[in-house]
Homo-oligomer: A and B are copies of this chain.
Amino acid sequence: MANADDDRRPKYQRIADSLREAIQSGEYGPGDRLPGENDLMAAHGVARMTARQALSVLRDEGVAEARKGAGVFVRAFRPLRRRGIQRLSQQQWGSGRSIWSADIENRALEVDQVTVSEEAAPDRISAVLDLADDETVCVRRRRFVLDGKAVLLATSYLPTSVVAGSAITQEDTGPGGTYARLAELGYKPVHFREEIRSRMPSKDEAAQLSMSPGTPVIHICRTAFADEGRPVEINEMTLDAASYILEYDFDA
């Protein structure tokens, strides 16, 4: 792989590149321990700082992760495949299943930190839900933990005028969840819009999702619409990007 171009790369970059190639070729698999600083110093005849920089390049890229006192490992990446469109079909929640059950493929899912409260609507929510002045929202916050790892934070906003007195204002929304209850209330979701962004997590998000350094979050803002384009829910989700592949399937 050496050529005139390569030789201009700094030493730590050349070492990082060769480790990355070894990972991509499968020489080191997910969860495998990578050579440590001492190994790299001996193998490449470099100073400790150079070896450390090489490993930090791979950590910053999210290819590898450090475990305290144990070394640097190829990140074990077994992400969830979230099928954006199929999971929200009415067949799913209409039959009493949770939307989430479409994603998890028999893995152990726990929803924790559920809170439900009536709050003043933030401006961006009020604008999209087209609320009357001073109309409050029902706010449902929860965290999803999969195989013991927190993977998603979700906050839903629904107009109090729509959901007051229903199970949507309770921790347990019942079979089929919020969307099945909205249908019973006469606001069946018929259309969805998902907006996807990605950025680095805040310290708070990184802590709540137990994220490894060098990992971004994916932010999904979903709006659910009932008949005649009436917006009935906004769900703001923050996903650990190392835990997810989002998939959208659609016709031309």
Copies of chain A in the complex: 2
Residues of chain A in range 194-235 having any CB-CB distance to chain B below 8 Å: 194-203, 214-218
Q: Which residues of B contact A202 (CB under 8 A)?
A: 20, 61
Q: Which residues of B contact A13 (CB under 8 A)?
A: 203
User: Which residue in chain B gives the minimum CB-CB distance to A194?
Assistant: B248
Known pairs A61-B200, A61-B202; A85 contacts B248 (CB<8 A): yes
| C-alpha spacing A61/B201, complex, angstroms | 6
| Residue A193 CB within 8 A of the other chain | yes
Output the least CB separation between A83 and chain B (Å): 10
The reply to whether A250 and B250 form a contact with Cβ atoms under 8 Å apart is yes
User: Which residue in chain B gives the minimum CB-CB distance to A221?
Assistant: B245
Q: Which residues of B contact A189 (CB under 8 A)?
A: 252
| C-alpha spacing A85/B200, complex, angstroms | 26
| Residue A192 CB within 8 A of the other chain | yes
Q: Which residues of B contact A252 (CB under 8 A)?
A: 88-90, 179, 188-192
Output the least CB separation between A151 and chain B (Å): 14
| Residue A60 CB within 8 A of the other chain | yes
- Counting from the closest, the 7 A-B pairs by CB-CB distance are A216-B216, A198-B241, A198-B198, A196-B246, A62-B199, A90-B252, A194-B248
10 further interface pairs, Cβ-Cβ under 8 Å (given A62-B199, A197-B245): A61-B199, A88-B250, A190-B251, A191-B252, A192-B249, A192-B252, A193-B248, A196-B248, A199-B216, A199-B242
CB<8 Å pairs between A and B, sample of 24: A13-B203, A20-B202, A57-B203, A61-B199, A61-B200, A61-B202, A84-B250, A85-B248, A90-B252, A179-B252, A188-B252, A189-B252, A191-B251, A191-B252, A192-B250, A193-B247, A194-B247, A195-B247, A196-B196, A196-B218, A196-B246, A198-B216, A198-B217, A199-B242
